[in-house]
Amino acid sequence: MDRELIVKKDGYVLGQILFKYKTQTSGDASILINKIVDVEHGLKAVYPLYKHEIDFSHEELVSIEEIKTFDKDFFYERPDPEDQFGGDIEFTYPAIHYRYSGAPGIADIRADFLANKKDLRFISVSRIKNDHSLQANRLETNVTLLGRLCALPTLNCPDAAFSMVDYKQE
């Protein structure tokens, strides 16, 4: 269920929310809300209005429609001038790449929320026979998928801690 939501208005990015789960029902959300202003002659400018992180939690979401409804409600709860929400609003979920590092190795997760695909490729630091690939659907969180990886008999690392590598730092 880890995902990135891009909200566009008339083709311009109005907001972006990156949901990072710690459990199946809670986690952190990185939120960026932009301001779209008319400059002149139909030209528009987009600038960041605010950016912050917030904790979130919800009941277990068991379908994509429930997730999309949660995401829309979560976005509309953000404090922002109401006039920005008029017009053609589009909610999209781009494919995203996550990288996690930990004592056992590096885990790359490529997720496409709309295609219902999540592929994990694990590179072990100890030996090549411990390299693994796993698949999941979009309802499984990255934390759960990493837990399944560590439960494999060749790894057996139930206490392993993985940290997300933030390669998009500004």
Mean pLDDT of 82-93: 77
pLDDT tens-digit map of 20-77: 999 889 999 999 999 888 888 878 899 998 899 999 999 998 888 999 999 999 988 8
For residue 12, give the H/E element and its range: strand 12-21
> How far does Cα 43 stand from its chain's mean position?
31
Beta strands in 24-72 (DSSP E): 26-38, 44-57
Count of Cβ atoms closer than 10 Å to residue 25 Cβ: 14
Longest dimension (CA), the chain: 64
Is residue 81 pLDDT above 70, yes or no? no
Position 84 pLDDT exceeds 90:
no
Q: Which helix (H) or strand (E) holds 105?
A: strand 105-112
